Amino acid sequence: MERKKLLDSFQKIVFVAMSYIPLGIACGIALERIGMTSGGILTMSLLAFTGAGQFMTSSMIGAGASAISIITLNLFLSLRMSLMTSSLSQYVRGRSNLFLALFGQTTADETYGVNLYQFEHNPEWSANNALYANLIAYLTWVVSTWAGGMIGGAVNIPTTIINYLMTAMFISLMVGNLVSKTFIIAGLTSGILAIILKIIFQNNLALVFAAVIGSFVGYAIDNRSKEVVLNG
């Protein structure tokens, strides 16, 4: 039974995992170029599973930013994860603290999108399926960043290709989740705010704040809808 669940999870997450390989290698190379060892890169990926945060960290260290600035910005960047894991909590209730800790640690934007879609549309999708999917993507990222650190500056990966790969991956996940008014409103809120805040502040952090605000809007609408149903 568990072997079948593992295979099902692999089939659902394989394309996300495959996209992690070039991204992870590029991230590892970027981190190696600012002075991190392959061991340091491996440890960072294991403890801080955040591709966007790791890319941002490499840029900030290269620019001479302080440790406090790097930690603060990574904290803001990761706030959305608390909302994501909270929205999945109803599907993993009753699990051990170890399971929940591991599930939370290995949840990423992409695995969240896959798991949420499966939970809502696939009655056979279980908490174990979700954890297996998370772990496959997580380990792929960890190994890929470590490999990038080992390769170092020996291979030049065109950043343009990486940018298009990330864009395509997020668009595919977004389209797959535009299944209700809640997601559409949250997406539109984030998109419109991102444009407005970017114009006003001329800083990429505007995108982070827009994403967090959009997530809160979606969360509020979802909670309101549940209250209406319960009081109905």
- Report pTM: 0.72
pLDDT of 145 reads: 94
For 50, list phi and psi in degrees, rounded to 5.
Answer: -150, 100
Domain membership of residue 59 (yes or no) is yes
Q: Are residues 66 and 145 in the same domain?
A: yes
For 37, list phi and psi in degrees, rounded to 5.
Answer: -80, 165
Average pLDDT, the chain: 81
Residue-wise pLDDT tens digits, 148-172: 988 876 766 555 555 565 556 556 6
What's the rounded mean pLDDT across residues 22-47?
88
pLDDT of 156 reads: 66
Domain membership of residue 167 (yes or no) is no
Q: Are residues 59 and 21 in the same domain?
A: yes
Domain membership of residue 18 (yes or no) is yes
Domain membership of residue 136 (yes or no) is yes
pLDDT of 186 reads: 80
Domain count, the chain: 2
Q: Are residues 40 and 143 in the same domain?
A: yes
pLDDT of 95 reads: 92
Share of the chain above pLDDT 70, in %: 83
Per-residue pLDDT band for 115 (boundaries 50, 70, 90) equals very high
Q: Which residue has the higher pLDDT, 116 or 230?
A: 116
Q: Are residues 189 and 152 in the same domain?
A: no
Decide if pLDDT at 229 tops 70.
Answer: no
Q: Which token pair is 77?
A: 């960047």
pLDDT of 84 reads: 80
36 in Cβ contact with 149 (< 8 Å): yes
What's the rounded mean pLDDT across residues 50-64?
78
**By C-alpha distance, which of 53, 51, 47 is closest to 20?**
51
Residue-wise pLDDT tens digits, 99-112: 999 999 999 988 99
Q: Are residues 135 and 231 in the same domain?
A: no
Query: Which of 7-16, 129-138, 177-186 shows the lowest mean pLDDT across its residues?
Result: 177-186
Buried b vs exposed e over 145-174: b needs ≥16 C-beta within 10 Å?
bbbbbbbeeeeeeeeeebeeebeebeeebe
Q: Are residues 51 and 93 in the same domain?
A: yes
- Domain enclosing residue 47, as ranges: 2-158
pLDDT of 155 reads: 67
Q: Are residues 102 and 32 in the same domain?
A: yes
**By C-alpha distance, which of 220, 226, 152 is closest to 189?**
220
* Domain final residue pick, 158, 193, 218: 158
pLDDT of 128 reads: 94
For 10, which DSSP code?
H
